[in-house]
A = this chain, B = another copy of it.
Amino acid sequence: MKKIDILKKLRSSGLRPTKQRVEIAKFLFEREKTFHFTVESLNKLLTKKSASKIALATIYNTVHAFKTAGHLSEVEVRGNKTYFDTNVSNHHHFYDSDTSELIDIDSNDIIIQKIPKAPNGKKIKNVEVFINLIN
């Protein structure tokens, strides 16, 4: 994904391409592989990488704006930090509690044969599988 696409991506979702947003978006979206992060880890990586310092509040604002726009998803893992994911398609995860690392599993790599029906009046929105790892 090139810079022009980043600008398009932001503009098309009603987000002004500010210096900060472009920098964060380039960091998050100009990569081959899926990226899982917390706001804290993203902040550290951005501080290390770039010259200009972005306020922590801006990173929170931006990550939430990207999530609302559908450019990031939120993943639930153990712990009290919120994890975000550049993979917004339906997929599953390995979770290595040793390193607190998430690894994507393609939706097609897990097949569920039997599943209970949803309770009274509710519908199934989606199914998420977590495979917890140990050494």
Residues of A at the B interface (CB closer than 8 Å) are 74, 76-78, 80-82, 94, 96, 103, 105, 109-116, 118-119, 121-135
**B122→A96 contact, CB < 8 A:** yes
Contact flag A94-B113 (CB < 8 Å), given A74-B78, A127-B130, A133-B125: no
**A111→B110 contact, CB < 8 A:** no
Closest chain B residue, CB of each to CB of A118: B133
Residues of B within 8 A of A74 (CB): 78
**B116→A113 contact, CB < 8 A:** no
**A132→B127 contact, CB < 8 A:** yes
**A128→B127 contact, CB < 8 A:** no
Residues of B within 8 A of A135 (CB): 121-123
Given A74-B78, A76-B76, A124-B134, output 7 extra A-B contacts at Cβ < 8 Å.
A76-B78, A94-B122, A109-B114, A110-B116, A125-B133, A126-B131, A128-B130
